Amino acid sequence: MPFSYSYENQVNVDQFDVLPIPDVEEEGEFITKSWSETYKGNILYFMSGIDLSWNKLTGPIPYEIGYLSDIHALNLSHNYLTGPIPESFSNLRQIESLDLSHNSLSGQIPPQLVELNYLSTFTIAYNNLSGRTPEREAQFATFDEHSYEGNSLLW
């Protein structure tokens, strides 16, 4: 199932580059300063990192992102995202860095996230999350209070 955001369907990589985000089932073109390449099919499944920070994205995080199992880094920070952190994020078995900070996410942190063994950076600061923080074991023992700050209903 394809997903998209209404924010012009583009991510500004820097002042010279534009990276169109294709629907999962469609053809997409990746353009940078030095090369251009066209891909067909499920290109998002082959990406190792996605940085959509500071893009004025709104609405809930699509649960389909949780099925991009080879993603190593996901940054959705500094947007206007709402709703819960999708439980499907527990499928991101290769993820090393997850930044969901500075949004308006609500609800509880899915307890299944403690099963993400490679996670070394986890930031959910400045949202509206509530409930218990994940058990301080395994990799979650390495995340300090700065990972969670700005969520007054977390304990």
Amino acid making up residue 119: L
Which domains can be identified in the chain, with CATH numbers?
7-46 (no CATH), 48-154 (3.80.10.10)
Mean pLDDT (the chain) is 80
pLDDT at 136 over 80: no
Query: What was the pLDDT predicted at 40?
Result: 61
Write down the pLDDT at residue 5: 41
Q: Left (φ > 0), alpha (ψ -120 to 50) or beta: where does 82 sit?
A: beta
Residue 39 sits at φ, ψ, to 5 deg, of -125, 145
Question: 52 or 22: which carries more pLDDT confidence?
Answer: 52
Task: State residue 7's pLDDT score.
Answer: 38
- Residue 29 in 3-state DSSP? strand
> Do 51 and 76 form a contact (C-beta atoms < 8 A)?
no
* Model confidence at 34: pLDDT above 90: no
What pLDDT is recorded for position 38? 60
Which has the closest alpha carbon to 53: 128, 148, 126?
Answer: 126
Residue identified by tokens 């300063």 is 33
Strands 58-60 and 104-107, by their bridges, are unpaired
